[in-house]
């Protein structure tokens, strides 16, 4: 067989192989996408543990911890007053206050105690779920 | 009476005019703590450059921007910053 014919035959044989090789690479894998599409399970909220970690963290000093505690207590007092009908604010406004406070906490912790910052960030919606539910809030 | 206010030897007869408040040793951790606390309180400060302890949980603070505050814990357990 002449070399050109040989080369053509080789190319012909390898084309389907190349296609088979290329196709799986180009085709998006199904199983991993399905796994990613499944919603991530929210870790169970452990408020007591978060509180204990916040009290114990070396990332912030005593005055900062006390100031944070004051502001958390103030926010909780706002929620109590809201559920008693004594505070003329919307839940949206309380959400903004909550988000601002969480942001302050994260800003204080993110450099010196990243695991605690991540734990608080990942608990944000669970904590809001408690605060925004009168029955759950009353049980806290 | 603390070491900082105890009369020094034979100078003890001098009036208390010469008694100095007990200044905290230069503590970067304390300055950082007070800087964060003032930032949380929303008071203009920038950075605490000097912190002088007056008594437990009571400090006179000088900020980078020139502001001075008394930062202390009141009877209700609240951190308060009073402008000086």
SS (H, E, C) chain A: CCHHHHHHHHHHHHHHHHHHHHHHHHCCCHHHHHHHHCCCCCCCCCHHHHHHHHHHCCCCCHHHHHHHHHHHHHHHHHHHHHHCCCCCCCHHHHHHHHHHHHHHHHHHHCCCCHHHHHHHHHHHHHHHHHHCCHHHHHHC
For residue B17, the model assigns a pLDDT of 43
pLDDT in tens, A6-39: 545 554 554 444 445 444 455 555 545 544 555 5
For residue B15, the model assigns a pLDDT of 43
B34, A66 contact by CB (below 8 A): no
Q: How confident is the model at residue B19 (pLDDT cuts 50, 70, 90)?
A: very low
For residue A43, the model assigns a pLDDT of 59
Chain B residues touching residue A61 (CB < 8 angstroms): 29-30, 32-34, 36-37
Chain A residues touching residue B77 (CB < 8 angstroms): 66, 70
Dist. CA A62–CA A114, nearest whole Å: 19
User: Residue A30's Cα: distance from chain center in Å?
Assistant: 25
For residue A36, the model assigns a pLDDT of 53
Dist. CA A52–CA A72, nearest whole Å: 15
Residue A59, min C-alpha distance to chain B (Å): 10
Task: Note the pTM of the prediction, 2 decimals.
Answer: 0.69
For residue B83, the model assigns a pLDDT of 94
pLDDT in tens, A45-99: 788 889 999 999 999 999 999 999 999 999 999 999 999 999 899 999 999 999 9
pLDDT in tens, B32-80: 999 999 999 999 999 999 999 999 999 999 999 999 999 999 999 999 9
Extract the tokens encoding B73: 């814990």
Nearest CA in chain B to A61: B33
A60 in contact with chain B, both atoms CB, cutoff 8 A: yes
């Amino acid at each position: 067989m002449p070399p050109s014919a040989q080369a053509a035959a080789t190319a012909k044989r390898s084309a389907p192989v190349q296609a088979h090789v290329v196709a799986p690479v180009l085709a998006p894998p199904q199983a991993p996408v399905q796994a990613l599409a499944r919603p991530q399970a929210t870790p169970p909220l452990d408020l007591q543990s978060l509180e204990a970690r916040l009290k114990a963290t070396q990332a912030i000093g005593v005055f900062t911890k006390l100031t944070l505690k004051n502001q958390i207590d103030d926010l909780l007092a706002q929620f109590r007053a809201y559920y008693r009908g004594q505070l003329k604010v919307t839940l949206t406004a309380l959400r903004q206050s909550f988000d601002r406070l969480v942001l302050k906490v994260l800003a204080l912790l993110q450099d010196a105690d990243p695991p605690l910052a991540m734990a608080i960030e990942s608990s944000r919606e669970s904590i809001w779920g408690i605060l925004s539910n009168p029955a759950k809030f009353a049980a806290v | 009476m603390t070491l900082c206010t105890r009369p020094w030897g034979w100078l003890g007869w001098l009036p208390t005019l010469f008694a100095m408040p007990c200044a905290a040793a230069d503590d970067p951790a304390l300055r950082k703590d007070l800087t964060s606390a003032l930032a949380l309180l929303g008071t203009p400060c920038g950075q605490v450059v000097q912190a002088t302890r007056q008594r437990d949980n009571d400090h006179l603070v000088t900020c980078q921007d020139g502001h001075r505050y008394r930062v202390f814990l009141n009877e209700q357990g609240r951190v308060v910053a009073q402008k000086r």
